[in-house]
Structure 1
Amino acid sequence: MSVCCALPVGWVGTAQAADAAPAAAPVPESTGNEIVVTATKREQTLQQVPVAVSVTTAAEIARAHVRDINDLSTLVPSLRVSEHQSSAQTDFLIRGFGNGANNAGIEPSVGVFIDGVYRSRSAAQISDFPDIRRVEVLRGPQSTLFGKNASAGVISVTTAEPQFKHGGSLEVSYGNYNALVIKSTMTGPLTDNLAFSLASGYNRRDGVVHDAGSGQDVNDRKRGFMRGQLLFAPADGPRVRLIADYSTIDENCCAVVNLLSSSTTSVIRAIGGKVNPTSDIYGDVYTNFGSINRIRDYGVSAQIDHTIAGVKVTSITAWRKNTNYNNQDSDFTSADLLSRNMADITDTTFTQELRLSAKLNDRASLLLGAYYFNEKISQTGQLLYGSQMRTYADQLIRGASSNTLNVALLEGTFGALEGNPTKYTNRFFASGTGLNKAYAMKDESISVFGQIDFKLTDRLTFTGGLNYTKDSKRFSTGTVSSDAFSGINLNAAAYAPLRYQLLYGGAVAAGMPTTTAAAYASANMNNAAVNPLAALRALQFMPPFLNVPNAVESGRVSDDNLSFTARLAYTVSPQLNMYASIATGFKAASINLSRDSRPALSDSAAIAAGGLATTNLRYVAGGGRYAQPEKSTVYELGLKGNWGLASVNIAAFYQQIKGFQSNIFTGTGFDLLNADKESVYGFEFEGQVRPTRELTLSQSLTYLVPKYDSFTNSSFGNVSGMTPAGIAPLSMTLAATWDHVLPNGHHVILRGDWHYESPVQIQDGLPGFLSAGVSAALNAARPYRRTVSQIDASLSWKLNNGLEFAVWGRNLTNDRYISVVFDSPAQQGSISGYVNTPRTYGVSALWKY
């Protein structure tokens, strides 16, 4: 359970807390209202910070046996974490807002910072942290202090600094699914002014879903981590903290189940493929080969703190590199339809932040800063047909044409009508053909920001802040399609004789006199609106690609924005603080680095006039190559109180995002679009009570009412006025910790928590429903829903000599649900989804010295 409140000392200014503790002093384990946070980029106790922030301490993470950042949502109800196509594709949502998975060109709306360093993509955010100290979740837009990376919120992870006292720890945990976790830390002085720390971890678990097609277990864990730190902390002079880390992930993720079968599912089974039955969605899955998710993430950073003439100067410099190689059988069946869906992504970032903070007088304190961000992304990949794709497509074509057409007939006919009967022989849906993809992007951004705290009275403090951000992106593509069938223009004049023949003898002319049918066919053989070949367009999965930059599209986009914060904080009494605030957020334009990157409809005339249009080129209204910036605003009232035995934190808010960047998987690619306006209002409650010295009870609750105020061009049509999918109206965590001290000084600690999310529709809409001929009523019903009810518990025996033993379990009732649904690739009318993790349990031993 995240902690909500802190000591009732009233709101304070900037510089006071920033210089509070001696640099080299050991860091005690703060609890409850004493926790110090850096939510406003300076050190303050949680009670003092007039911001909606939840804090999860290292002790809470250890007691709850949280293994990685994905598990945090069970402790912080306002945060939701979802894993998608691969280990690297993880979404973080705060108050229902967030995106970024499955597309390297999209920056998340929730910024993740580790020791003050921004991690720009989820592949660089999900590694384990053996030396974690606390996790702060800042709710709502935080762009004034965190720039363009925080339009919906911030997750800030702080690790333990090196100590000037020898110490360390070793933890070993073993559980079901052959799970083994080993964590170790070591710290101590090297000289009077120099301390070091080393931390490492290994996290392994067999897969929790069996793949009966490949014979492997899926959704496993295999992660390693190392971090080394040096802390130079002289009695006077600059304080320097150097960090170097390296982490690896090598996993088989993520299992996909079939939720809705269609006629295409019957075809797959007819050619010998297997798909899990919809009656057993938590059973076996079927693919041809195991997924590869191989991530390497590493980097270095240097933080320098120095006080000059009463001004505290902080510099954080960081360089990071992340490589992410993944491959997947993306038809999610044992039929060999797609033999390869590979992506090899490299992301290199350099960041520099400089801050100055000072107390101007008894009433005012000031923080000024500048931030530079430079990122380079390169991606290559392949999406290729498998050995059974031709047979599969042949059966679909026969079914769509009442057995009039087939693959071989189309190859010969199209070739003959073009004057070369063998031109397409054995080329349609041939094994090894498809897309060879290449994308690159460079992003350069600079921000300047400032914030002032001014005490209007002894109890009332005004805070005002501004952030100006300038962001520029350059991007290019080099994608080539070898899919011959997708390169066919079914409306081409050359194919008029085939269309005439189909119209003359097909269902369109059924019942007409022969002369009438012939006249109809003659008049309409070049009418695209009644093209009898139109049904085949659904099988043109990978048409020729118009690469960028070109004569019409520059491959450049630039944005700037001024964000602000205005807040009044009032100390009602030593036990109670209140605040009211308005803040804005900004996220720069995101780039669609996917096979569905399409030119904007507004460029169609220029592209056609320039002779650039490729066959079957699709234009996107309002975007396609990139999404315009999103801008958020939050109005918030908050209350924080502490009365010794009880503490409370309440926030009521209304939050909106204009131009929300929506990234929706359509079954063949990703539609990157802007929602005109999306909003949510609600409240958050976090409370803690200690009825006895040994018992602590706590609760966190989030209530949300989201809405698409205006979204006319979504992937599912006009969804204005509808409730966005996936945002549970009510999320809640209840936790209890009983820490009993035995006569010999040992501790018996029992902890349990229950995380609940009320029923919610998972997906906004499913294009496959209507295109498969399923009724509009079924599409309107939006039948896929998720309810979460997870119970976790642990029992620990803590000895005086530093040893601690525990038994633990997560999701003890084996609550199962579908987290995400989507159109099944190359299977029109079928729906697939991702499943959650089942019950896990084990034992652990910890030694601290």
Structure 2
Amino acid sequence: MRRFLVNASAGALLISMTQVAQAQDTPPAAQPADPGDIVVTAQKREENLQKVPAAISVVSAAQLDQRGVVNIQSLQQLVPSLNIKDSATTLDSSVFLRGVGTINFSIAAEPSVGFVVDGVTYARSGEAFGDLYDIERVEVLRGPQGTLFGKNASAGVISVVTRRPGDELGGFVEALATTDEEYKLRGAIDIPIAEGITSRFTGNYGWFDGTVRNITLDRTVNGYERWGARGMIVAEASPALTFTLIGDYRKQNSDCCAEVVGTTPAGALAGSLIGVDLKGDETREIRQNTLTRTKEKSWGVSLQADLDVGSAGTVTSITAYREYRNFGIRDGDFIDTVYNIAGGHQLDDFGPQPSETFTQEIRLASPGNQTLEYVVGGFYYNAKQQRTFQRDDIVCSATTLPPVSPGLAPCAPGSSTLRFPSAVGTFGSTIESFAIFGNLTVNVNDWLRLIAGGRYTHDNVDAFNNRIPATNGGGPGLLNVGANYDLSTSNDDFSGRVGVQADISDELMTYATYSQGYKGPAFNVFFNQNAGQLDPIAAETADAYELGTKFKTADGKLTLNTALFYAKYDNFQANSFVNLAGSVITQLTNAGSVSTKGFEIESVIRPSREFTFNAGLSYTDAQIDEFNLPPNAPAGSSTRRGEQLPLAPTWKGNVGGLWTIETGGFANVEIGGQVALTSDQVSSLEANPVTRRAITIDGYVVVDANIALVDPDGVWRVNFIGRNLTDESYATLITPGGPGGSFRYLLPRDVDRYFGVNVRFNY
């Protein structure tokens, strides 16, 4: 057990340190008396955001609708300190908060930022990537959240709350179309079933052509087709007992996300990309003969029971089961032809990865406004994942075909000496966790509160890897040795939290907290795992300090929340790029100790009912403190102390506004805009300074705007949107290992300017 304490005297310090939540724009009938009031469930109970002693950003459905935003990736332009890494498949997408996250390709490791939807924990954050629809709000909790949310929240939590059913028959339909051929349909309906039983059913469909042209296949890629549905039934069995049953289903077929080669390959392989305009992150063409694509299907069901037990509080039970199926195909050589020189061979990957997760949480939360307020409970988690991965190569050693450019001759059956190496591996993991937790707030008097909490966790991690040796002499990215590994480890942890909270005045609250985070042990289980990579990777732990204030004027016209933070992570689990048998791969490792420190400021200003302004700014210094050198590193190797962590921009900020013009006619007018900036960031823990600079993503600014016509009675809305108005090109990841030592760029959805119109009808 690790000791923990906090300096309680820090509670009255500073008027500068926590975050602010984006304002929630609700219809007049649901608008609270104070327009600054936002209700969150960050502490497993409904509370006013301004009373919660933690850094939390809240993005409402109205904000997302205003900007035409309906996906998780776009949240990073609204929330300081949030960064999202896309991948060739959503399976490997990752979330970063305050510069900390996990670029994870291992099947036996978990994320650092937890993802929770309606109280249900998702095993992999990538399962939730895609469209957000019928959302009530998104809560982003920054910093370790181990006490209440557990081991996969060592850097924070994204909690999505969907809309609950209404009491009357009604709903909405909505359609979106853009100039770059993205189309979306959404709809929902509330159906009262019987006295005390209500339901809501939602559905969505989306199709996008893409942003990159594949010259070889003569088609546009990096688009998608997806659809999903969700149903919720709320039944009041008695005045004290309520059941909530939720089911959802999602399916996606996408030709995403092919990485563009943005720099010229060295030597003769420069001729392999003839016709491609290589311009770094401005490249929009590829030459790939295999269509990189992903097929996904996920579904889940949860049952929540809430029982009012009088003065003791409310007992809540959430039982959930989820399945996630991902089948990916990837062009791993990034060229369209086999050539007779090293680096000119073909490499394709494909295979399914099914997973299933069962979770059970039960907790007791006391009523609010008591001298002692508490949440106590238990949590069980069981996640099983398995992947069958096949890598096929084509290797050419001689050819009689004429060269297409100096030193570069193509190969083809009948005129070349070809080998077809291949290997198949099946690997997987079972991660089981038991936890008990509690959080206590002591209201010493009407202005001072003391906070204490803790969570005990026991983890069991089992993993296996069965791989046949590569056939036909091996090739790029293929080991000529088989694998037959069965691995197991377990770990116990206690994570604590203490703090003090004080109301300096009716408008100003300040707090100081010390919290611990925990991320369970892992194994570096992947296709080419070898005998030197069998040891478990130690559990990641965090010690975090936060000083914050939350200020809101009595009339709700100004909200200003700020935070100062410092967190140190030991046994930081990270990925780095390594070259294996001629192919660049990533490898999970215990990178050592890292730290992150900085400040966050968020504010909402409402000078009148017609105007709303919001702004956010974060400064994050996330760096390596002590780096674990690899085995057999040469004497005098750099400790790399002070290097920036991957995907941790020093500065992030956003500013936006909304002007509502009440015309007195058939429609009101809303004019909105948003500017988001991100400073330079590196893509991985790369040691070579030259490569490190090459994989640095330059800072960028994204400008969005919208003009909407809104029915004064709230029946219809027509929203004209513009995204990335300055046509700012940028990458979300830059990776070495392209043909001839070139670099690959992963491009986001909003990499180019586009316009659209969104029409909504409420009934």
Place the TM-score, normalised by the shorter chain, in its bin. 0.7 to 0.9
- Distance, in Å, in 2 between the alignment partners of 1:306 and 1:187 is 24
- Is 1:724 aligned to 2:645, yes or no? yes
Shift of residue 448, structure 1, vs aligned partner: 0.4
- Cα 1:170–1:723 change in 2 (3 A) is same
Task: State the AA in 2 paired with 1:307.
Answer: D
- Written as runs of structure 1 = structure 2, the 5 A alignment for 1:654-733 is 654-666=566-578, 667-713=583-629, 718-733=639-654
Matched-pair contact (CA < 8 Å) for 1:144–1:564:
yes
Q: Residue 50 of structure 2 aligns with which residue?
A: 47
- Distance, in Å, in 2 between the alignment partners of 1:790 and 1:382 is 39
- Distance, in Å, in 1 between the alignment partners of 2:587 and 2:416 is 29
Given candidates 328, 334, 349, the residue that maps to 2:357 is 349
The structure carrying a bigger helix percent of its residues is: 1
TM-score computed with the length of structure 1 as normaliser: 0.79
Q: Residue 317 of structure 2 aligns with which residue?
A: 315
Matched-pair contact (CA < 8 Å) for 2:487–2:534:
no
Matched-pair contact (CA < 8 Å) for 1:786–1:819:
no
Given candidates 680, 699, 706, the residue that maps to 1:759 is 680
Q: Residue 647 of structure 1 aligns with which residue?
A: 559
SS in 2 for 1:818: coil
- Cα 1:787–1:5 change in 2 (3 A) is closer
- Which deviates more from structure 2 when the two are superposed, residues 751-760 or residues 574-583? 751-760
- Distance, in Å, in 1 between the alignment partners of 2:35 and 2:91 is 34
- Cα 1:112–1:32 change in 2 (3 A) is farther
Task: State the AA in 2 paired with 1:678.
Answer: V
Task: State the AA in 2 paired with 1:249.
Answer: Q
Q: Residue 419 of structure 2 aligns with which residue?
A: 430
Shift of residue 818, structure 1, vs aligned partner: 2.2
CA deviations 1:56-112 (Å, max 9, x no partner) are 001001001112111110111211112112233311100111114433332110000
Given candidates 613, 630, 650, the residue that maps to 2:540 is 630
CA deviations 1:648-697 (Å, max 9, x no partner) are 00000111111111122434332111121100110000011122221111
CA deviations 1:121-153 (Å, max 9, x no partner) are 133111323211000000000010011110000
- Cα 1:79–1:65 change in 2 (3 A) is same
- Written as runs of structure 1 = structure 2, the 5 A alignment for 1:474-489 is 474-486=462-474
- Distance, in Å, in 1 between the alignment partners of 2:290 and 2:493 is 47
Q: Residue 589 of structure 1 aligns with which residue?
A: 521
Given candidates 325, 330, 333, the residue that maps to 1:331 is 333
SS in 2 for 1:47: helix
Q: Residue 452 of structure 1 aligns with which residue?
A: 440
- Written as runs of structure 1 = structure 2, the 5 A alignment for 1:46-195 is 46-195=49-198
Q: Residue 211 of structure 2 aligns with which residue?
A: 208
Task: State the AA in 1 paired with 2:21.
Answer: C
Shift of residue 736, structure 1, vs aligned partner: 0.5
CA deviations 1:753-781 (Å, max 9, x no partner) are 000012334444276xxxxxxxxx73475
Given candidates 465, 478, 495, the residue that maps to 1:542 is 478
- Distance, in Å, in 2 between the alignment partners of 1:312 and 1:280 is 53
Matched-pair contact (CA < 8 Å) for 1:231–1:240:
yes
Matched-pair contact (CA < 8 Å) for 1:427–1:484:
no
- Distance, in Å, in 2 between the alignment partners of 1:575 and 1:479 is 62
- Written as runs of structure 1 = structure 2, the 5 A alignment for 1:780-791 is 781=693, 784-791=696-703
Q: Residue 363 of structure 1 aligns with which residue?
A: 371
Q: Whose radius of gyration is greater, 1 or 2?
A: 1
- Cα 1:110–1:781 change in 2 (3 A) is closer
Task: State the AA in 2 paired with 1:738.
Answer: W
Q: CA RMSD in A?
A: 2.9
Shift of residue 281, structure 1, vs aligned partner: 4.3
- Cα 1:258–1:766 change in 2 (3 A) is farther
- Which deviates more from structure 2 when the two are superposed, residues 274-283 or residues 210-219? 274-283
Given candidates 736, 741, 744, the residue that maps to 1:832 is 744
- Is 1:384 aligned to 2:297, yes or no? no
Q: Residue 843 of structure 1 aligns with which residue?
A: 757
Matched-pair contact (CA < 8 Å) for 2:262–2:283:
no
SS in 2 for 1:60: helix
Shift of residue 591, structure 1, vs aligned partner: 2.6
- Cα 1:100–1:107 change in 2 (3 A) is farther
- Distance, in Å, in 2 between the alignment partners of 1:41 and 1:783 is 40
Task: State the AA in 2 paired with 1:219.
Answer: N
- Distance, in Å, in 1 between the alignment partners of 2:359 and 2:522 is 19
Structure scoring higher RCO (CA < 8 A, sep ≥ 6) equals 2
SS in 2 for 1:269: helix
SS in 2 for 1:73: helix
Matched-pair contact (CA < 8 Å) for 2:524–2:588:
yes
- Cα 1:744–1:154 change in 2 (3 A) is same
- Written as runs of structure 1 = structure 2, the 5 A alignment for 1:200-349 is 200-263=203-266, 266-267=268-269, 269=271, 277-278=278-279, 281-310=282-311, 311-336=313-338, 337-349=345-357
- Distance, in Å, in 2 between the alignment partners of 1:236 and 1:588 is 40
Q: Residue 557 of structure 1 aligns with which residue?
A: 489
SS in 2 for 1:148: coil
SS in 2 for 1:186: strand
- Cα 1:628–1:389 change in 2 (3 A) is farther
Task: State the AA in 1 paired with 2:167.
Answer: F
- Cα 1:485–1:719 change in 2 (3 A) is farther
- Distance, in Å, in 2 between the alignment partners of 1:446 and 1:428 is 56
- Cα 1:151–1:427 change in 2 (3 A) is farther
- Cα 1:281–1:718 change in 2 (3 A) is farther
Matched-pair contact (CA < 8 Å) for 2:104–2:588:
no
CA deviations 1:192-245 (Å, max 9, x no partner) are 110011000011110111111221211112111100111002451310000111
SS in 1 for 2:174: strand
Shift of residue 598, structure 1, vs aligned partner: 2.9
Gaps of 5+ in 1: 8-25, 400-406, 408-425, 487-538, 600-618, 768-776
- Written as runs of structure 1 = structure 2, the 5 A alignment for 1:815-830 is 815-824=728-737, 827=739, 829-830=741-742
- Cα 1:743–1:166 change in 2 (3 A) is same
- Distance, in Å, in 1 between the alignment partners of 2:107 and 2:334 is 22
Shift of residue 630, structure 1, vs aligned partner: 0.5
SS in 1 for 2:590: strand
- Is 1:567 aligned to 2:487, yes or no? no
Matched-pair contact (CA < 8 Å) for 1:485–1:540:
no
Matched-pair contact (CA < 8 Å) for 1:123–1:322:
no
Shift of residue 484, structure 1, vs aligned partner: 4.3
- Written as runs of structure 1 = structure 2, the 5 A alignment for 1:481-520 is 481-486=469-474
Shift of residue 546, structure 1, vs aligned partner: 4.9
- Distance, in Å, in 2 between the alignment partners of 1:280 and 1:670 is 22
* Identical positions, percent: 27
CA deviations 1:434-492 (Å, max 9, x no partner) are 22111021111111001111012221101100100111011111111324444xxxxxx
Shift of residue 782, structure 1, vs aligned partner: 5.0
CA deviations 1:283-304 (Å, max 9, x no partner) are 3111002222100010100000
CA deviations 1:580-618 (Å, max 9, x no partner) are 00000000012323124233xxxxxxxxxxxxxxxxxxx
- Distance, in Å, in 1 between the alignment partners of 2:649 and 2:691 is 20
CA deviations 1:25-84 (Å, max 9, x no partner) are x99356852111001111001111111000000100100111211111011121111211
Q: Residue 634 of structure 2 aligns with which residue?
A: none
CA deviations 1:711-738 (Å, max 9, x no partner) are 1326997423322243111100001100
- Distance, in Å, in 2 between the alignment partners of 1:817 and 1:694 is 34
- Is 1:469 aligned to 2:383, yes or no? no
SS in 2 for 1:668: strand
SS in 1 for 2:247: strand
Q: Residue 6 of structure 2 aligns with which residue?
A: none
- Distance, in Å, in 1 between the alignment partners of 2:604 and 2:487 is 52
- Is 1:4 aligned to 2:4, yes or no? no
CA deviations 1:378-426 (Å, max 9, x no partner) are 110111113658769xx9xx99xxxxxxx9xxxxxxxxxxxxxxxxxx9
Task: State the AA in 1 paired with 2:537.
Answer: A
- Distance, in Å, in 2 between the alignment partners of 1:362 and 1:281 is 58
